[in-house]
Amino acid sequence: MKKTVALGMSGGVDSSLSAALLKEQGFDVIGLFMKNWEEKDETGACQSQKDYEDVLRCADVLNIPVYSINFVEEYRDRVFNSFLKDLKKGLTPNPDILCNREIKFDLFLEKAKTLGAEFLATGHYCRLGPKKELLKGKDPNKDQSYFLHAVHKKAFENVIFPVGDLIKSDVRKLALKYELPTATKKDSTGICFIGKRNFKDFVSNYLGYAQGPFQTLDGKTVGTHDGAAFYTIGQRKGLGLGGEGDAWYVVQKDIHRNIVFVERGEDHPSLFSSTLLATNLHWLVDTPPSSCSAKVRYRQSDQSCHLSWIDSQTAKVTFDIPQRAITPGQSIVFYDQDVCLGGGIIS
């Protein structure tokens, strides 16, 4: 008897090919399209509707059923509101990580079970080991384990990642072989609910920010910013600061005084640190490490580090080599070779 798998279909090539591969492997495939956001972008278009149409086109080619699931209210409550709260604190949050934990591998997984599915599949570039440990995807340029480190370990017991053993170029080739309409569709980038809109303009609709000074670390005012929460550590573009010399970079923020500190040069010493404080630590392994490697941003190469525990969810992390632009609000994710050990929030 065939086993049923519910596949999260986003309208992209990765999830579309996942459907074809699962069907070829003998599964009964149910396509699930998740709608998390309703607003139209600045062009008046609703991206989710476009994506849903692509899902339907692929489902028609593969002859599989598709259900559209509305999680707009849950997404606002469990992801978007948290995103706004962190921005207001001056942090640089990553809503994709929260979406994976709260929506895709929680509410979405439960919905799949109600439809009679024994497994949930997604188009993430990840793999699972023999003990259901989370592993990096085979393609180092597309590996998405960084974004899944906060998912509860138990969720992976009934999850399949069909493209985790493939590199992106092979995914495209196979999608063409299966004559999938999304074979040449560009990958989506950026935060899903912002789309092609300007980040500053979008966020201003929800949070009010006041202008304040750009200052150097020695207190010299060199310009005016639109609100400290709009800027992130290491940012160069969009500052509106010129003059002779190297480019300006954001090196610190004081959200309470609404000051953004800047210095010239991408290798300015104030951009580098050997330590950070990690909070809200979540582990996918039984025994957290004292030494391992870590990433402080997506696509960064693994960096050797050591952990000193403060309490069960907080640790000081010390790197062998100083790290550039460590950013509060972003995630630090820990690894042992290909195994994703877990992670936390940089505070």
Is the CA virtual torsion 317, 318, 321, 324 positive or negative? positive
Q: What share of the chain is helix, strand, coil (3-state, %, to 5)?
A: 30, 30, 45
Q: Cα separation of 16 and 37, whole Å?
A: 21
Annotated catalytic, 99? yes
Which of 330, 346, 339 is CA-nearest to residue 293? 339
Q: Cα separation of 26 and 1, whole Å?
A: 10
Candidate list 58, 99, 305, 340, residue with the active-site label: 99
Query: Helices 168-177 and 13-24: crossing angle, nearest 10°?
Result: 60
Q: Cα separation of 110 and 187, whole Å?
A: 27
Helix (H, G, I), strand (E, B) or coil at 268: coil
DSSP labels, 158-204: GEE-TTTTS-HHHHHHHHHHTT-TTTTPPPP-S-TTTTTS-HHHHHH
Annotated catalytic, 192? yes
CB neighbour burial string for 123-157, b if at least 16 within 10 angstroms, e if fewer = bbbbbeeeeebbbbbbbeebbbbbbbbbbeeebbe
Helix (H, G, I), strand (E, B) or coil at 258: coil
Catalytic residue annotation: 99, 192
